[in-house]
Amino acid sequence: MSVITTQRHGDVLVIISDNPPVNALGQAVRAGLAAGIAEAAGDDAIKAVVIRCEGRTFFAGADITEFGKPPVGPSLPEVVDAIEQCRKPVVAAIHGTALGGGLEVALGCHYRIAIGSAKLGLPEVKLGLLPGAGGTQRLPRVTGVADALNMIVSGNPVTASRALEIGLVDRIASADSLAEEAIAFAREVAGAAGHPVSSLRTDRIAEAANHPQVFDKFVAENSRKLQGFDAPKACIEAVRAAVELPFEQGIKLERELFLKLVSGTQSRAMRHLFFAERQAAKIDGIPADTPLIPITRVGILGAGTMGGGIAMNFLSAGLPVTLVEREQAALDRGVATIRKNYERTAARGRMTMEQVEQAMGLLTSTLDYEDLADCDLVIEAVFELMEIKKEVFRRLDGLVKPGAILASNTSYLNIDEMAAETTRPEAVVGLHFFSPANIMRLLEVVRGAKTSPSVLKTVMGLAKTIGKIAVVSGVCPGFIGNRMLSPRQSEAQKLLLEGATPWEVDAALTEFGFPMGPFQMADLAGLDLGWTAEGSTSSTIREVLCERGRRGQKTGQGFYDYDENRRGSPSPETEAIIADFAARSGRAQRKFSGDEIRERLLYPMINEGAKILEEGMAQRASDIDIVWLNGYGWPAFTGGPMFWADTIGLKTVLDGLARHADALGQDFIVSSLLKGKAEAGESFN
Ligand code: 3H9
């Protein structure tokens, strides 16, 4: 059956798209829409047109899989123009998400009606693009510049009610009668003398035309967020053109910018990440009919920063949580922190106080382990020591009901060793949340040797419920993320002894696009993590910094000196400490360029990533990209470490490792997967 069909309802022609899963505007849909409009235009009995979609959503955008392939007409801009130029009024009937090209189709329509739950947006910027079917020119003409800039540059959608406020939709329909209400709306406007044509409107852009500083202000306010990305700048330039140039010239500029971006590396990288994120949810070797384990109550052991943050995920998603601690004071502190975090969110307007109470009402706090007995999933977030973890697993196994899942939040310990302490190793899994656990989107799901498919499938589904991006890792020290962090950290330390300063090392990474470098990160986390004054032996730079009271941002001094706004500046004291260590190490001192620092820090990570793949610890290279993007701030516009390695060429990485072989040391082993692929001219993705 064709993806586009038409139905006649008296004098209204309804054009219906049915192209699951998201009604992407692939070639067949575009051709069908153009044919539908031509049918309406050529039939005198038709007075108005409705465009609507079957399935879960209105058009969610252009078909991203077509980018990079030879274009087959009609193009989306041509289709949108044809809709707009139709002499009979066209009404877009919107449910689900009208995104990207989907919203551009709706903007080409003369009227828009949406149900209350609909969302409308232009998310192209998140794919390293700008709207390329007139969105940058029509949206500001419909909503005004301020809202259009926000929507286009952030890529975030607006709700139907907000869309009504800003003039993006004309009417809200009831969810169960959108099709009928759209037809009635079309009939109602059919007799009007003229219809609003987005591209001809000037009423909403007149103000910005007189106040062009609105663009400079927007750039100034958002410059930090936009750093490194090409697409947002192009978006702003195009919206500016909507105000300053006639429509046709604005469209021409939009097209030029779109074509440049779509063929560039940044957009390729971000499109890779779009599919990588969806791919990560798929687990190899799990039959589709694997049953899920119902999760109606979650137990969490440990009410510290990690346990509390983990609890918030479930409470926010409406799942009851039993939180267990050993001492009343720690429990009270944990519960109070959860409440404080929620109240802060409410104060910022992102939650109502009613929602805060609702979430808190789902929380049971207790000192009694036995209260975990009826939980379907228990996650331990206790001290990171194998003996303690083993003891916890033995105890949980004895008291939690049969069939329940037992999970560890360990960030590097061996899940299989914990599972071996229980009578249900198939129900044991790692759930490595990242701190702050209520905010960070990454979740490493650690698949033990005996973890059952049901357990894996259940926790992957649960991750989606609580809004996490889950990536499956095998059991190895540090799993995917921390295992790759480890060579970066050790190279960063070595560089200090060879003459590089912490500020040079950090700058090399922030220039690359990381939000911070390793030493800024250490200062933020606190240098005294795991450090005690009694156990300190002045044997590392970090120990000496701690001994001098330089324990990171919280003490105003760490590797850096901090002012009252927590802005760091290079510290002469740190430099002196490092110089002392460097002299004692006997290593030659020299200057390093940013490029050399990046090679030393990043190439060994790629090598470790290749080993992770080689050992089957990650299912696919793109999973590694997703971990580093969402857990460690790897810049999205490079596509993640493995994709980045592909773009610079694996041979470049291999040659770089060879060049730095002396510095990397004898223990450094080049991955045979990396070597093989580099020599064969292959890539990871
Ligand atoms: C654009 O429009 C450019 C124009 O301005 C100019 C053109 C000239 N294409 O996310 P889900 C697949 S750029 C192809 O899991 P959900 C997706 O890969 C586009 N495929 O569902 C997945 O496949 P699989 C601007 C697409 O319910 C399946 O559909 N639009 C596309 O969680 C289900 O997706 C966007 O950026 C697509 N456009 O979320 C919107 N979209 O099952 C992108 C999805 O094989 N889409 N797929 O893994 C989304 O944000 C979400 O998919 C959506 C649904 C919110 C719609």
Residue range 503-511: mean pLDDT, rounded? 98
Whose alpha carbon is nearest atom 9 of ligand 1? 63
Contact 410, 432 (CB under 8 A): yes
260 — pLDDT class (breaks 50, 70, 90): very high
The pTM is what? Answer: 0.94
3-state SS, one letter per residue, for 370-422: HHHCCCCEEEECCCCCHHHHHHHHHHHHHHCCCCCEEEECCCCCCHHHHHCCC
Q: In what order do the strands lie in the sheet with 442-446?
A: 363-366, 321-324, 298-301, 377-380, 405-408, 428-433, 442-446, 469-473
> Annotated catalytic, 66?
no
Phi, psi angle pair for 410, to nearest 5°: -55, 145
- Alpha carbons 464 and 292: distance in angstroms, whole number: 14
Cα dist from 623 to 90, 98, 641, whole Å: 43, 28, 10
Q: Is the CB of 625 under 6 A from ligand 1?
A: no
Residue range 335-340: mean pLDDT, rounded? 97
Cα dist from 240 to 81, 138, 198, whole Å: 21, 12, 16
| Tens of pLDDT, residues 367-414 | 999 999 999 999 999 999 999 999 999 999 999 999 999 999 999 999
Whose alpha carbon is nearest atom 48 of ligand 1? 278
- Alpha carbons 348 and 64: distance in angstroms, whole number: 35
Atom of ligand 1 nearest to the CA of 122: 25
Q: Is the CB of 133 under 6 A from ligand 1?
A: yes
Check the CA dihedral 355-440-292-371 and report its sign: negative
Q: What tokens appear for 425 in the block?
A: 């190793």
Q: Is the CB of 132 under 6 A from ligand 1?
A: yes
| Tens of pLDDT, residues 457-490 | 999 999 999 999 999 999 999 999 999 999 999 9
- Alpha carbons 296 and 427: distance in angstroms, whole number: 16
| Mutation choice for ligand 1 from 19, 22, 30, 468, CB with most ligand atoms inside 8 A | 22
Q: Any idea which residue has 């955008």 for tokens?
A: 61
- DSSP category for residue 587: P
Q: Is the CB of 62 under 6 A from ligand 1?
A: yes
Q: Is the CB of 99 under 6 A from ligand 1?
A: yes
Atom of ligand 1 nearest to the CA of 282: 48
Q: Is the CB of 278 under 6 A from ligand 1?
A: yes
529 — pLDDT class (breaks 50, 70, 90): confident
Contact 526, 552 (CB under 8 A): yes
Q: What tokens appear for 455 in the block?
A: 């357990």
- Alpha carbons 383 and 517: distance in angstroms, whole number: 27
Does residue 73 surpass a pLDDT of 80? Answer: yes
Separation of CA 135 and ligand 1 centre (Å): 17
Q: Is the CB of 464 under 6 A from ligand 1?
A: no
Q: What tokens appear for 608 in the block?
A: 């470790």
Whose alpha carbon is nearest atom 10 of ligand 1? 278
Separation of CA 61 and ligand 1 centre (Å): 7
| Mutation choice for ligand 1 from 3, 33, 64, 136, CB with most ligand atoms inside 8 A | 64
Separation of CA 24 and ligand 1 centre (Å): 7
Does residue 444 surpass a pLDDT of 90? Answer: yes
Amino acid at 452: S
Q: Is the CB of 517 under 6 A from ligand 1?
A: no
Q: Is the CB of 65 under 6 A from ligand 1?
A: yes
Amino acid at 359: A
Separation of CA 275 and ligand 1 centre (Å): 9
What are the start-end ranges of the E strands in 455-599?
Answer: 469-473, 560-562, 568-570
CB atoms within 10 A of CB 554: 15
- Alpha carbons 7 and 2: distance in angstroms, whole number: 13
> Annotated catalytic, 256?
no
Q: Any idea which residue has 């250490």 for tokens?
A: 522
Supply the pLDDT for residue 395: 96
Q: Is the CB of 123 under 6 A from ligand 1?
A: yes
Cα dist from 485 to 370, 594, 601, whole Å: 38, 19, 9
SS3 111: strand
Supply the pLDDT for residue 290: 96
Atom of ligand 1 nearest to the CA of 62: 2
207 — pLDDT class (breaks 50, 70, 90): confident
52 — pLDDT class (breaks 50, 70, 90): very high
- Alpha carbons 319 and 317: distance in angstroms, whole number: 6
Supply the pLDDT for residue 212: 81
Q: What is the mean pLDDT of the chain?
A: 96
Contact 395, 414 (CB under 8 A): no
Q: Any idea which residue has 């049915």 for tokens?
A: 18
Does residue 203 surpass a pLDDT of 80? Answer: yes
Catalytic residue among 39, 54, 66, 124: 124
- DSSP category for residue 427: G
Separation of CA 60 and ligand 1 centre (Å): 6
Residue range 200-217: mean pLDDT, rounded? 89
Q: Is the CB of 64 under 6 A from ligand 1?
A: yes
Contact 408, 448 (CB under 8 A): no
Q: Is the CB of 29 under 6 A from ligand 1?
A: no
Catalytic residue among 104, 325, 421, 599: 104
Nearest to 238 by CA among 256, 263, 212: 256
Whose alpha carbon is nearest atom 56 of ligand 1? 60
- Alpha carbons 75 and 133: distance in angstroms, whole number: 9
Cα dist from 205 to 149, 160, 243, 415, 667, whole Å: 12, 22, 6, 59, 64
Atom of ligand 1 nearest to the CA of 102: 2
> What is Dmax (Cα atoms) for the chain?
92
- DSSP category for residue 62: B
Separation of CA 274 and ligand 1 centre (Å): 8
Separation of CA 229 and ligand 1 centre (Å): 21
Separation of CA 409 and ligand 1 centre (Å): 32
SS3 53: strand
Whose alpha carbon is nearest atom 8 of ligand 1? 132
Cα dist from 341 to 160, 308, 345, 362, 382, whole Å: 29, 10, 6, 15, 21
| Tens of pLDDT, residues 618-630 | 999 999 999 999 9
Q: Is the CB of 61 under 6 A from ligand 1?
A: yes
Q: Is the CB of 131 under 6 A from ligand 1?
A: yes
Q: What tokens appear for 381 in the block?
A: 């977030």
Does residue 210 surpass a pLDDT of 90? Answer: no
Nearest to 205 by CA among 249, 256, 246: 246
Residue range 669-680: mean pLDDT, rounded? 98
- DSSP category for residue 90: E
Atom of ligand 1 nearest to the CA of 275: 18
Q: Is the CB of 96 under 6 A from ligand 1?
A: no
> Would strands 97-99 and 90-94 be described as parallel, antiparallel, or unpaired?
unpaired
Does residue 251 surpass a pLDDT of 90? Answer: yes
Q: b/e per residue, 212-234, with b = 16+ CB within 10 A?
A: eebbeebeeebeeebebbbbbeb
Contact 234, 152 (CB under 8 A): no
State the number of CA atoms in the 13 A half-sphere of 24 facing the CB. 9
Supply the pLDDT for residue 1: 67
